[in-house]
Amino acid sequence: MEDQAMSPIQIKKVGLDALAEASCPVGMVRFLQLFETGSGDYTKYRDKWLGKTSVRSVVEEMKKR
C-alpha cells in the first residue's frame, strides 16, 4: 500500500498490525504507552498534591523513614 493513498486510520492499523506481529502483547502495550501524551495540567495538580513542600522537607522526611 502507498502511504499517500491511505487514510490516517489505515496507516494506524497497518502500524499496529506490524507492531503486534513483531512483539508480544505486553511489548506492544509498553511501546504504545511511550507515546501517550496524557491530559490535564500536571504542574497545577502536582502543586495541589505537594503543596508548599520544599526539597529540604522531603530530605528530612526521607531521613526519618
- pLDDT per residue rounded down to tens, the chain (65 residues): 555 799 999 998 999 999 989 998 899 889 988 887 778 888 888 888 878 888 898 899 999 99
**Per-domain residue ranges of the chain:** 8-64
Give pLDDT, residue 1.
Answer: 53
pLDDT score recorded for residue 3: 55
Q: Which residues of 8-25 are buried (b: 16+ CB within 10 A; e: fewer)?
A: eeeeeeeeeeeeeeeeee
Predicted confidence at residue 25, as pLDDT, reads: 87
